[in-house]
Structures are given as structure tokens and as C-alpha cells.
Amino acid sequence: METEIPKLHMFFFPFMAKGHIIPIVDIAKLFVARGVKITAITTQADAPFFSKANQRINNSATQIDIKIIKFPSKEVGLPEGCENVDAITNSARFNFDLVIKFFQAAALLQEPLEDLLEKYKPDCLVADMFFPWATDAAAKFGIPRLVFHGTGFFSLCTMSSMRLYEPHKKVSSDSEEFVVPNLPDEIKLSRKQIPESMRDGESFVGKLFKAMGASELKSYGVVVNSFYELEPAYAEHFRKVLGRRAWHIGPVSLCNRSLEDLSSRGKQASLDEQECLKWLNSKEPNSVVYVCFGSVANFSSAQLMEIALGLEASGQSFIWVVRKDKNDEEEEEDWLPVGFEKKMEGRGLIIRGWAPQLLILDHEAVGGFVTHCGWNSTLEGVSAGVPMVAWPVSADQFYNEKLITQVLKIGVSVGIQQSTMLFGDYIKKEAVEKAVRALFTSDEAKEMRSRAKALGEMAKKAVEEGGSSYSDLSALVEGLMSLRHH
């Protein structure tokens, strides 16, 4: 009698931030669908992301196993219960020291991770880029480690070129542009637009990114939430010129098909999805602009006021997601013009808190997306086939802006020049109005929309059986299986 071959067993270890956990949950679901046994390593605060996914997986035999490790907040001087990036960025008085403490706490997770690796001996560890020590931790037990960056090939190639050639050190001022060397396209940036980790290699964050680069080179490879047809020159460049082993398996958000999956992804939405759909159903196709800056960007009241005035002046219907809570129904909010919501009734919908983004973007009424260019949002906009207004704030977002506006030509820039961790450059209402109008009424609008729609179709084909991402995922599973046999 033949003995049954045990399932491939993979550990998933995401960084404690929504932008990292949400795609990791989707990736875990993709592997589960291929018959892989998945164990998620997470903290108490973030475990619900995985348990919610389990509620959608009907077969109890294929559910994601969840192992909870204690996040050492107190040990590094963080407030009790501060277990994810939300807890830092949501505070009214953001303090960069808290970010450093958070990363120091994350580094203390090496020992509990190693205990779990030793006990369960998985066949592979998929660990977030912010855990550079995970490659060595896995190697102790002969386990291959895959890196999850949470960004695409264009951004990965740009970051590598920046690290290798340091072109930002060869210009005389912060606003002078330089060409990023050795890329398939001519990409220009200024020092103002690159992340702090790149500007100051000796800072805490700079050293962390150096460690991440070194760790990636020693890892088994990189799993990328992208698809080949979106950025073929950069997928080739990353693999052939930079010599990295990588698998594109995205857009991973497309594994969410049902209304429940679309509306419940991430956190509980602040607005009932039926109410949201009813509002969208009352609008003409391609008439609504969706405005959302992700889960980290935190704008001042003055900037929000300019956005409100710009949206009003654009004449476009809009859904605007704002990270502000309304304390009292009667209270006037200092970030909105007096009587704004009443005036915009029927034309504008403000969602305070978390929005069902996939549900909104996929609706035929939505014809444009004002985005902070975080990779998840960028790829979700691409998958929905909508043109974008690029409003980057920090990290890899200025790179993604170049991809959207210059390489793919499916969007326009709002004109941000300065990368800041949380509080972006100040943009006036006129620039907001101009950028929104450009998506709907400019001479280029039709061509941008047509290109965006074509990419949306390619994204859907990529994840279907026989598609580029479906095939790469198959190749990765087969490669890990054969590695186990050896």
C-alpha cells in the first residue's frame, strides 16, 4: 500500500501592519487552495485577520492554523497593547521614536519564531521583509525562507539601483533631479522623494534596510504580489540582471470573489456595504472618483480642507475615505467647510474610518481613484481597470507614482514633491481639482482609461488557470515540494 505524501507545510509570518497582513492573508488563501498546509504566526491583535479568512474557508481540514506569539511592547517601552503599526499612526501626536521602538520589539520575535520552527519544522517560511533575521532563523533548521516585500518589481528594481549606485549622493541639492541608473526606463527622482532609509544609511531605519537587502540575497527567493504583464521589463530585470529568484503570484486581492469576501477584507467597514452599493448604483458608469490614502497616511485638517474644496470644484461625484472619527453628530469638524456634507448630499459620500475598497473600486460607477500609491491600493486600482491620481506620501510610494504616470501611463500626478513619513506635502485645492478633472475630462483621459481597462483584464487573466501568476504559483509549490524531497 502506498504511503500518503504529507502536505507541503508553510509558515507565514507577516509584519504587524494592515498593508502587510492583508495581502499575506490573501496569499495564504491561494496556497490553501493548492492543498498546502498553512500556519500563520501572528500576535493577539492581528489574529482576527486570519480567523476571519478561516470563516470563509468551508473545509475545516484546509483552514489556516494560527499560532499566536506575544508582542514585546513593554520590553522596549511601548504602551501596553501596542501590537501593530495602527496603534502608533492613529495617535494624534505621532512620534517617530515609537516607530523605532516598534521595530526593536519586532526584532525580539526571533526567539519565539525559532521555537516554533524547531517544534513544527515547516517546509518553508514566508517572512516579511521587515524581519531580516528570519533568513538566519530558518537556516538554523534547514528551512528555506521566502521574502515578502509587499511591493512590485518596478519598486524592487528601483530600490536595488538606488542602493547599488547611490545616485542621490551625486546631486548638489535635495530638489535637483537625478536619473536612477540601470533601469529599463529613464526614471528621474530627487532626494526629497526618496525614503528616509535611503537618504540616511546610518540612521536606525537606514541600517534596517541594509540588513533587509543582505538578508534577501541569502534567502531562497522573493514572492511578489504582481503579475508579469503589468511590468514585464522589470520582472525580467529583477530576475536576470539583478539575479534574484522571484515568483509573481498576484494580484492576490483577486482571490476575493464573493460579496462577503470583497466587503469584509481587512477591518470591519465603517459603512454598511449595502448602503455603499445603493449609493453607487444610483450613479452613471465611470462618473465617481474614489479618494483614499490607505491605513497609515495622516493628513492635517488644513490639507483635508483643501481636498474637500478641490473635490467640490471638480464637479465630480466622489467617495472620500477619511481617517477621522466624528465625535458628536452636532459637532462641526474643523477639516470640512461649514455645511459641506449637506451641500454635497447625493454627489459626495464621506466614509470615516475603513472602507470596503475592493467593492467600491470594482463598481462600474467608479471611474477614477485618488491614491497614496501604496502597492496594495495601486494594484487594486490596476485590477479594477481605473485610472489614478497619484498622491504619494512616503516609503515606496514615489516609485509607484512613476510606474503609474510614466511607465504604464494610466494616471496623473497631483504634484507632491516631498516624501515624509506621515504628514505629506501641502497640496492646494486647485491642484486637487485639476488632477481629478484630468482623469475624466482631459484630452488624455480616454487613452488613460483604455490602457487601465486593458491592464484590468490582463490582471484577471493572470490569476486564472494557465495565466502567468497561476503558473508561477504552481512552479513555486512544485519547487518547494522537490526541495523537500532532496
Catalytic: 334? Answer: no
**CA quadruple 297, 369, 463, 266: dihedral sign:** positive
**CA quadruple 123, 102, 268, 297: dihedral sign:** negative
Is residue 160 a contact partner of residue 242, using CB atoms and an 8 Å limit?
A: yes
Peptide bond into 251 cis (omega under 30): yes
Other CB atoms within a 10 A radius of the CB of residue 207 amount to 13
Q: DSSP string covering 83-94, please?
A: -SHHHHHTSSS-
Residues 253 and 233: their CA atoms lie apart, in Å, by 23
Is residue 147 a contact partner of residue 129, using CB atoms and an 8 Å limit?
A: yes
Residue that has been written with the C-alpha cell 508553510 in this structure: 10
Query: How many residues in the chain?
Result: 486
Other CB atoms within a 10 A radius of the CB of residue 79 amount to 12
What's phi and psi for 354, nearest 5 deg? -105, 135
Of the residues 26, 46, 128, 362, only one is catalytic, namely 128
In 3D, which of 11, 19, 28, 14 has the Cα closest to residue 255? 28
- Radius of gyration over every alpha carbon of the chain, rounded to an integer in angstroms: 22
Other CB atoms within a 10 A radius of the CB of residue 359 amount to 21
**CA quadruple 188, 192, 195, 199: dihedral sign:** positive
Residue that has been written with the C-alpha cell 520575535 in this structure: 109
Angle at 307 between CA 383 and CA 411, to 5 degrees: 35
Of the residues 20, 149, 168, 363, only one is catalytic, namely 20
Catalytic: 261? Answer: no
Is residue 346 a contact partner of residue 316, using CB atoms and an 8 Å limit?
A: no
CA 381 to chain centre: 11
Q: Annotated catalytic sites, by residue?
A: 20, 128
